[in-house]
């Protein structure tokens, strides 16, 4: 059935959700619940969020953190950061505190002008075009008077209109290159409205307007942030060697684009997090920053480092076109909160704050890279995410955190340690105990969420039932497992090891099967029935063996060993043990 639809935007919010869940998801009711979990309970606030973009169905949460201890031009700040990546906020805070004792960050706005262009085609003589522009330039300014009036009162407006010849790049291609000052507004709508007014006034029978649009490349909307101190005050063992390696790391990013991209990504970790928190446009900031990093013709580092006369100096120059009034900054409650937290900065001040955040993050990354390595600190910060992913208890977290105080954290090492701890106290489920099985499974509901995997509660129960039907010879798989594979796999059933979370025989599909029963109760009843058939089958066929799709031919005792592991695995999936 086709999933192409007309008129989707005209649906109500609920109609959009109904259509999406019915056409793209196997369990619409569960998906709807997930969507609604992220709605704000305040209806007016939710409506505000719904109106930010089109076809809204829910909200997507991102962590909102705060990096304290920043001192910027002798003023103290706690900087809001919205980002999903662990260690960024902690690293920025740590570096901010470090530099706060050494004079803090020194910042300076080098320029605030922004650019817009009217792109057009002209096949006539260039001299005639130049005369036309010069004669009409006053009229072009006048065409925007109603738009620029309020901006001019705040000290902004159009600074210049220049004709640019691009015919050496593209036949008949010219621009009107317009420079703007937008003060505390990011100014995208203002600039585009001015450009369209200019284009309408400028066009004639010989001039074909292609488009009028602002540019996110703003090399003259530039800010500088710097830290410096005596090399001996860098607070590390062998500071001379550290300073030299640090500078070498920056120099490598200047000449090696593969390194420069990752180097600058670290800078943007700090900057984008503040851009998001303040309701600014991080895509525009990213595009402008990376274009500026390529201005020499080769992609290069946005930060710089020198070592002169025993002084370590580290700085960044980056274009940042920001706003503190208008747009989302005036609408989103948390964007307004962020700006108030930052003591209601002007756009110029916000440029300096963000540049400091980017420099702090870059310093943290380079310090880690040139000393212990980036993964040492990053993975320690990531440890909690790994533990939460595997539903570690508080006792397990405490034990593992203590273990990794002196060990290198990696995903595999954490999982291995967690499994080691859990092996010591595995609570195996007796799948033959009907009352126990019913007691555990009756705690489930259609809303129960798995700790891992894609199955919902009823799909899990029906999956156990299906595998039990293989064991009781009701379902004929027709599968054959070679003696070589059996010899390699079957000994696992004699161990105390659990089935891993990724265990899935090849005969099972990647997605959960469709439900067979109308309710959880019916599914539980069927599972109990299939277990009884399993017992009865082997009572009547004492020496029978049935092929397991992964472990090969199993007799009664080995099927019991597998079922204990299998039931335990899925009961843990839904936190029933």
CB 262 within 8 A of CB 354: no
Strands 207-214 and 157-165: unpaired
- 135 labelled catalytic: no
Taking the C-alpha atoms of residue 533 and residue 521, their distance in angstroms, rounded to an integer, is 19
Mind giving me the DSSP string for 271-284? Answer: HHHHHHHTT--HHH
φ/ψ of residue 53, rounded to 5: -135, -175
Is the separation of the CB atoms in 177 and 195 below 8 Å?
Answer: no
In this structure, are residues 562 and 553 in contact, taking their beta carbons and an 8 Å threshold?
no
Q: Hey, is 383 helix, strand or coil?
A: helix
Give the span between the Cα atoms of 321 and 335, in whole angstroms.
17
Please state, in angstroms and rounded to a whole number, the distance separating the CA atoms of residues 91 and 97.
Answer: 10
Separation between Cα atoms, residue 445 and residue 522, nearest integer Å:
13
Query: What is the H or E stretch that residue 440 is in?
Result: helix 434-441
Strands (E), 339-498: none
Beta bridge partners of 67: 79
Place of tokens 């450009």: 195
| Structure-block tokens of residue 334 | 């948390």
For the chain, the distance separating the N- and C-terminal CA atoms, rounded to the nearest angstrom, is 42
> Which of 365, 314, 372 has its CA nearest to residue 99?
314
| CA angle (197, 203, 209) in 5-degree steps | 85
Exactly one of 15, 22, 51, 85 is catalytic; which is it?
Answer: 85
Active-site hit among 49, 75, 245, 265: 265
265 is catalytic: yes
For 273-310, b/e burial (b = at least 16 CB within 10 A) is: bbbbbbbbbeebbbebbbbbbeeeeebbbbbbbeeeee
User: Which residue in the list 184, 196, 281, 349 is annotated as catalytic?
Assistant: 281
Q: Catalytic annotation on 378?
A: yes
Question: Which residue in 119, 254, 378, 548 is the catalytic one?
Answer: 378
Residues labelled catalytic: 85, 265, 281, 378
């Amino acid at each position: 059935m086709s999933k192409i639809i007309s008129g989707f935007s005209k649906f109500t919010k609920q109609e959009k959700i109904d259509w999406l869940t019915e056409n793209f998801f196997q369990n619409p009711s569960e998906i709807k619940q997930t969507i609604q979990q992220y709605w704000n309970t305040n209806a007016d606030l939710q409506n505000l969020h719904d109106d930010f973009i089109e076809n809204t169905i829910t909200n997507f949460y991102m962590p909102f953190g705060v990096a304290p201890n920043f001192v910027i031009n002798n003023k103290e700040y706690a900087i809001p950061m919205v980002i999903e990546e662990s260690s960024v906020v902690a690293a920025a805070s740590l570096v901010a505190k470090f530099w706060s004792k050494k004079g803090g960050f020194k910042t300076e706005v080098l320029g605030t002008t922004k650019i817009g262009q009217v792109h057009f085609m002209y096949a006539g003589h260039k001299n005639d075009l130049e005369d036309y522009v010069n004669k009409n330039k006053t009229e072009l300014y006048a065409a925007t008077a109603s738009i620029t009036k309020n901006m001019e009162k705040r000290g902004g407006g159009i600074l210049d209109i220049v004709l640019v010849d691009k015919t050496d790049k593209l036949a008949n291609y010219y621009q009107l290159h317009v420079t703007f000052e937008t003060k505390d507004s990011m100014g995208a709508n203002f600039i585009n409205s001015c450009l369209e007014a200019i284009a309408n006034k400028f066009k004639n029978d010989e001039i074909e307007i292609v488009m009028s649009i602002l540019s996110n490349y703003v090399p003259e909307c530039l800010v500088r942030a710097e830290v410096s101190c005596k090399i001996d005050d860098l607070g590390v063992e062998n500071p001379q060697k550290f300073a030299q390696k640090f500078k070498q790391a920056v120099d490598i990013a200047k000449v090696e684009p593969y390194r420069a991209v990752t180097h600058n990504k670290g800078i943007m970790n700090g900057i984008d997090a503040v851009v998001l928190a303040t309701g600014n446009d991080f895509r525009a900031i990213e595009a402008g920053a990376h274009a500026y990093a390529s201005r020499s013709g080769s992609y290069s580092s946005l930060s710089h480092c020198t070592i002169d006369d025993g002084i370590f100096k580290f700085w960044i120059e980056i274009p940042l076109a920001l706003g503190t009034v208008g747009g989302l900054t005036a609408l989103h409650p948390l964007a307004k909160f962020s700006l108030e937290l930052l003591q209601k900065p002007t756009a110029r001040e916000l440029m300096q704050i963000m540049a400091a955040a980017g420099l702090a993050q870059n310093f943290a990354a380079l310090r880690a890279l040139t000393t212990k390595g980036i993964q040492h600190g990053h993975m320690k910060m990531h440890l909690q995410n790994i533990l939460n992913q595997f539903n570690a208890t508080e006792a397990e977290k405490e034990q593992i955190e203590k273990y990794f105080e002196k060990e290198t954290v990696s995903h595999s090492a954490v999982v291995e340690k967690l499994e080691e701890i859990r092996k010591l106290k595995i609570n195996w489920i007796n799948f033959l105990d009907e009352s126990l099985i019913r007691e555990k499974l009756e705690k489930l509901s259609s809303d129960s969420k798995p700790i891992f995997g894609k199955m919902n509660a009823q799909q899990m129960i029906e999956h156990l039932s299906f595998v039990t039907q293989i064991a009781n010879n009701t379902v004929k798989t027709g599968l054959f497992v070679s003696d070589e594979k059996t010899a390699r796999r079957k000994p696992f059933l004699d161990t105390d090891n659990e089935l891993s979370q990724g265990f899935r025989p090849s005969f099972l599909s990647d997605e959960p099967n469709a439900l067979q029963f109308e309710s959880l109760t019916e599914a539980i009843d069927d599972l109990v029935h299939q277990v009884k058939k399993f017992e009865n089958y082997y009572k009547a066929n004492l020496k029978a063996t049935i092929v397991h799709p992964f472990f090969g031919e199993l007799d009664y005792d080995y099927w019991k060993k597998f079922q204990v592991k299998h039931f335990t695995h899925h009961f843990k999936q839904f936190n029933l043990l």
